[in-house]
């Protein structure tokens, strides 16, 4: 039956050879599980599949890996059903264990400040002023990269977002076309004023409304911001390459560490649901746990000296 199914997906469905090989491995695993339990493949029930999923998960296989295996098994039993060999698909309602959601990567406070303060003295002053202002806004305001590149230098009827230097605010268009205003700090304001003086001065390279532009005067893309930040972080000597969302995570984590006000962080980030923001409480707890381990005499593990 397995060989006939593999021939079916190879010839009739015209799947790639590598995909067929992966299906073969998945079905070999299914056959092994069934053989150990003394169960014929046509007699496999939903409870058997769930037990085998638990065994794979207990053996250390990831949720994603199990999901791929289940997909292969599900396709096999769907085919058997069409062939009239089984009455129901035992894999139909079985789902892989959810993979733990990774914590967002955030810089330490010292690294964030080092990165925001760093200046490349050898760079083109126009590009340096622009990049420094971008870093200050991303870390100082917690903007998404799409919100950053959507900013205009001044407000207008068609603007997605703009900077109000007088009010020290950035008005952005976030996810779900929701607008919000965030405060712009002193350091970011100074960096913006330096950048705008060059952007609009005698050496101006653009007449665009966009706040951040490239060498040829067109609005900067999100991809370009990613590339510039990565290069800048490596030059600045940071151990980890920095990307825009890392600065947003750092902003959220550091504000929460200092204030403890989760609702305020939610508003600043523009999260529709506070459960999205709660991931930063886990980051904050990690920070506290490290401080505890390093400082408290009762935190030392067995075998540690001191």
Active site residues: 144, 175, 245, 248, 271, 280
Q: Report the distance separating Cα 68 and Cα 74, nearest Å.
A: 10
What is the four-CA torsion angle of 199, 201, 203, 208, rounded to 10 degrees? 40
Q: Report the distance separating Cα 181 and Cα 171, nearest Å.
A: 4
CA–CA distance from 28 to each of 60, 98, 171, 284 (Å)? 19, 24, 57, 45
**Three-class SS state of 241:** coil
Residue with tokens 């993979």: 99
Q: Report the distance separating Cα 208 and Cα 32, nearest Å.
A: 65
Kindly state the helix (H) or strand (E) to which residue 35 belongs, with its residue range.
Answer: helix 17-36
Q: Report the distance separating Cα 115 and Cα 223, nearest Å.
A: 20
Selection from 149, 146, 159 nearest residue 218 by Cα: 149
Residue with tokens 């712009």: 184
Return the structure tokens found at 4: 């006939």
Strand order in the sheet with 161-164: 151-152, 161-164, 169-173, 179-183
E strand residue ranges, 97-154:
151-152
- CA geometry: angle at 116 spanning 110 and 118, to 5°? 95
DSSP annotation of 219 reads B
Selection from 237, 240, 248 nearest residue 118 by Cα: 237
């Amino acid at each position: 039956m397995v060989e006939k199914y593999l021939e079916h997906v190879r010839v009739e469905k015209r799947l790639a050879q590598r995909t067929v090989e992966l299906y073969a491995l998945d079905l070999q695993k299914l056959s092994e599980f069934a053989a150990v339990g003394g169960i014929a493949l046509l007699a496999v029930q939903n409870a058997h599949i769930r037990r085998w999923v638990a065994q794979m998960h207990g053996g250390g296989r990831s949720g994603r890996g199990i999901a791929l295996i289940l997909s292969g098994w599900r396709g096999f039993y769907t085919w058997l059903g069409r062939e009239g060999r089984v009455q129901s698909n035992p894999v139909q309602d079985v789902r892989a264990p959810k993979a733990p959601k990774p914590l967002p990567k955030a810089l330490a406070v010292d690294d964030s400040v080092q990165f925001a303060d760093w200046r490349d003295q050898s760079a083109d002053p126009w590009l340096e002023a622009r990049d420094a202002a971008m870093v200050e806004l991303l870390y100082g305001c917690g903007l998404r990269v799409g919100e950053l590149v959507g900013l205009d230098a001044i407000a207008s009827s068609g603007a997605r977002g703009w900077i109000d230097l007088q009010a020290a605010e950035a008005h952005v268009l976030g996810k779900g076309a929701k607008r919000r205003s965030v405060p712009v700090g002193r350091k970011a304001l100074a960096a913006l004023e330096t950048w705008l003086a060059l952007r609009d001065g005698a050496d101006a390279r653009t007449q665009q409304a966009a706040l951040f532009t490239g060498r040829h005067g067109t609005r900067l893309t999100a991809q370009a911001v990613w590339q510039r930040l990565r290069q800048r972080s490596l030059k600045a000597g940071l151990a980890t390459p920095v990307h825009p969302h890392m600065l947003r995570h750092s902003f959220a984590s550091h504000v929460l560490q200092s204030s403890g006000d989760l609702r305020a962080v939610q508003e600043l980030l523009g999260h529709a649901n506070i459960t999205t923001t709660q991931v930063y409480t886990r980051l904050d707890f990690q920070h506290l746990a490290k401080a505890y381990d390093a400082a408290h005499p009762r935190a030392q593990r067995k075998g540690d000296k001191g």
